């Protein structure tokens, strides 16, 4: 009998080049998975990559932990006993410490529709089981990447290297660093790419479709609602009042633009 973890491959040919540096030390990941062997395997490989991994086997425990402690990443299985992954994700996004944490969903192939729902609910990425652990580690890093040595395999969307300014927000693509006034704020890779794209084209309207093409680059299972979710999260990080945005503006019926300030 083949056990589930025996399907996990650690030698994916798709493992991106240039990812040899370890993850930043001290990054904390919460691994939520009821299948013990997958949970331990994921935690082990994250820890080998320099992460501190905290593991739980059910949704209630996950939610409690994520609300009490800061994490840099949540690896969330969709099919959990009790509170399922989507319910956990929705609850996480609603309040407190977990509202902005990057979430990587783990799904089974039969859960395709849940995957779409997951991305709409605010997950940042997903992996379908069986997945390669190196791919998981690569995705985990990509979701929290900020250092200048790191690079998305597909590169930032435009104008790599030029520092962009939007009101009191400075966006430095070389360091993948964003400051609001004097204060550094942490953006996920995709939040950064979207903000940078808009900020380097002040006043230019981008449709949701165009943003999907530029920021998500042909990924499947994303919809225009993913754009709205991402914009909301960016606003929470950079706008003085996210409910009355002055930097990333909605263009009704079309999409978004950066204020021409």
Binding residues for Ca ion, rule: CB under 5 A, are 34, 77, 79
Name the burial class of residue 172, with classes exposed (0-12), middle (13-18) and buried (19+) by CB atoms within 10 angstroms of its CB: middle
CA 213-219-224 angle, to 5 degrees, is 55
CB 166, min distance to Ca ion, A: 41
The Cα 5–Cα 8 span in angstroms is: 5
Q: Toward Ca ion, which CB reaches closer, 107 or 226?
A: 107
Q: Specify the residue, 6 or 254, whose C-beta has the smaller distance to Ca ion.
A: 6
Q: What is the dihedral of CA 165, 169, 171, 177, to 10 degrees?
A: 160
- Quickly tell me which residue has 């030390």 as its tokens: 25
- CB-nearer residue toward Ca ion: 2 or 252: 2
Residue nearest to Ca ion (CB): 79
- Shortest Å, Cβ 44 to Ca ion: 18
Q: Which is nearer to Ca ion, 34 or 120 (CB)?
A: 34
Q: In this structure, are residues 176 and 150 in contact, taking their beta carbons and an 8 Å threshold? A: yes
User: Helix (H, G, I), strand (E, B), or coil: what is residue 78?
Assistant: coil
Q: Shortest gap between Cβ of 182 and Ca ion (angstroms)?
A: 44
Task: Give whichever of 78 and 187 is closer to Ca ion, judged by the CB atom.
Answer: 78
Burial of 164 (0-12, 13-18, 19+ CB in 10 A): buried
Q: What proportions of the chain, in percent to the nearest 5, are helix, strand and coil?
A: 40, 20, 45
């Amino acid at each position: 009998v083949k056990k589930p973890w025996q399907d996990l491959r650690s030698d994916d040919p798709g493992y991106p080049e240039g990812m040899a540096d370890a993850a930043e030390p001290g990054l904390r990941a919460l691994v939520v998975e009821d299948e013990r062997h997958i949970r331990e395997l994921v935690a082990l490989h994250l820890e080998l990559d320099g992460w501190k991994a905290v593991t739980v086997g059910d949704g209630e425990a996950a939610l409690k932990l994520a609300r009490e402690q800061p994490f840099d990443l949540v690896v969330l299985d969709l099919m959990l006993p009790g509170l399922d992954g989507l319910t956990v994700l929705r609850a996480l996004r609603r309040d407190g410490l977990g509202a902005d944490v990057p979430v990587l969903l783990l799904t089974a192939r039969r859960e395709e529709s849940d995957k779409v729902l997951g991305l709409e609910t605010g997950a940042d990425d997903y992996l379908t089981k069986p997945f390669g652990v190196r791919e998981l580690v690569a995705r985990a890093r990509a979701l929290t990447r900020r250092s200048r040595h790191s690079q998305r395999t597909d590169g930032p969307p435009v104008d790599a290297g030029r520092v962009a300014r939007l009101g009191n927000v400075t966006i430095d693509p070389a360091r993948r660093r964003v400051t609001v006034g004097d204060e550094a704020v942490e953006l996920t890779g995709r939040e950064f790419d979207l903000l940078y794209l808009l900020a380097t084209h002040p006043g230019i309207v981008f449709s949701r479709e165009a943003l999907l093409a530029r920021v998500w680059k042909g990924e499947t299972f994303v919809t225009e609602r993913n754009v709205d979710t991402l914009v909301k999260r960016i606003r929470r990080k950079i706008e003085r009042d996210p409910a009355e945005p002055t930097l990333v503006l909605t263009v009704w019926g079309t999409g978004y633009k950066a204020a021409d300030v």
